[in-house]
Copies of this chain bind each other. A is one copy, B any other.
Amino acid sequence: MIILLHLDAGPAERAAVRAALQKLGLEVEEARLGERTAFWVEGADLPPESVARLPGVEKVVPLGGRAPLVESTRVPGGRPVRVGGACFGGGQVAVIAGPCTVEEPAALREVARFVAQAGAAALRGGVFKVRTSPHNYQGGGASALRDLAAAAHETGLPFFTELSDPRQVAEVADVADGLQIGARHMQNFPLLIEAARAGKPLLLKRHMSADVDEWLLAVEYVLKAGNEQVILCERGLRSAEKHVRYLLDIGVVPWLKQRIGLPVIVDPSHSAGDWRLVGPLARAAVAAGADGLIIEVHHRPETTRCDAQQALPFADFARLMHDVRALAALDGRGLAGAQPSTPPPLQRAAGA
């Protein structure tokens, strides 16, 4: 940390800052920068705000990342995360797909079979829903979880499901292949720690207003709790603009890929909030280097009780998987866990 004093800080202020730092048990070096005094202190523990409040201090410049465990994942080849037979981050594109909410078992199985055939690497489905209003449908709970596990088992796909209460962790981790932490719970640290300890891979969505620093520190909580199997998922940021529900931060994908080794996937469904935009956003994500996608698919979107506006119908999903395969191939990647499927005809990137 560099502590730069004001140009007019006198010897008394200089001594006081030095004394205050030493009182904290820190080793302090002094340097001259032009006509100013700077102090140099090693160690990230010191809250910069306390130092900034000392009289005579103009600026405090912290150095070094705040998330050393996350930074340590930046190794050659990265740190792929295996979920059942699927691999996230190992140089392929892995697609998680399924309904927003688990509804009828028969319908669920139909969706699961379809996405498996179309090349999905894993199944998703909500059973403990996090709903903005207490008057909205709150999910099917334990019995829906059983249905989801059965559908996943039948198709051979691993599955993810979301949870939001530390007291649910044991029950969910017992059957799910991956635990999903929703955006609103990104900074629910008791939940993160409990989920991390269950030893299953974690899919950690970014909060719709979190900056990257906060997101990586949430990952840091998981790593510190002893679990290195974290998949980061960008799902869009809240903004003043309302034509999309959340503004997809497409730039964060390459930014993260250049800095950390954990897999980074994108959720175009919740970002768009509109099924007509899901395809283009998904293609953009793969072209920008995402390690995967998580996509809501429904056999009859207009009948679902939850997020009907964003669910892709089957035909659109099949077409998208074809596009994803072609895009991934451009830089030598394939679909993780993909079954061969008959390609539908080429799709124009955006039809007027």
What is the interface of chain A, defined by CB distance below 8 A to chain B? 2, 4, 20, 29, 31-34, 38, 40, 42, 44-45, 47, 49-50, 52-54, 58-59, 61, 63, 66-67, 74, 76-78, 130-136, 164-167, 184-185, 187-190, 207-209, 211-214, 217, 220-221, 224, 237-244, 247-255, 257-258, 261, 271-272, 275-277, 279-281, 283-289, 301-310, 323, 326-327, 330-333, 346-352
Contact = CB atoms under 8 A, between A and B. Distances in A.
B271 A280 contact: no
A47 B137 CA distance: 10
20 contacts: A29-B33, A50-B309, A66-B135, A77-B352, A131-B189, A132-B217, A165-B190, A184-B187, A212-B243, A243-B252, A244-B252, A244-B255, A247-B251, A248-B251, A251-B277, A254-B276, A254-B280, A258-B276, A281-B288, A287-B327
Given A258-B350, A276-B258, A331-B348, A284 B38 contact: no
B249 A247 contact: yes
A253 B350 contact: yes
Contacts of A303: 50
A208 to B, nearest CB: 6
Contacts of A289: 280, 348-350
Q: Which of A63, A136, A238, A288 has the most CB of B within 10 A?
A: A288
A138 B311 CA distance: 40
A98 to B, nearest CB: 18
A252 B350 CA distance: 12
A82 to B, nearest CB: 18
A211 B214 CA distance: 20
A350 to B, nearest CB: 3
Contact of A251 (B44, B243, B347): B243
Contact of A349 (B32, B130, B209, B287): B287
B350 A288 contact: yes
B249 A308 contact: no
A226 to B, nearest CB: 12
Contacts of A49: 307-310
Contact of A132 (B54, B214, B281): B214
B166 A167 contact: yes
Given A240-B209, A250-B248, A42 B50 contact: no
Contact of A133 (B4, B217, B279): B217
Contact of A288 (B189, B209, B241, B280): B280
B304 A352 contact: no
A276 B255 CA distance: 8
A327 B284 CA distance: 11
B217 A190 contact: no
Given A280-B289, A349-B333, A308 B50 contact: yes
Given A276-B254, A307-B49, A288 B243 contact: no
A188 to B, nearest CB: 6
B135 A350 contact: no
Contacts of A243: 211-212, 251-252, 255
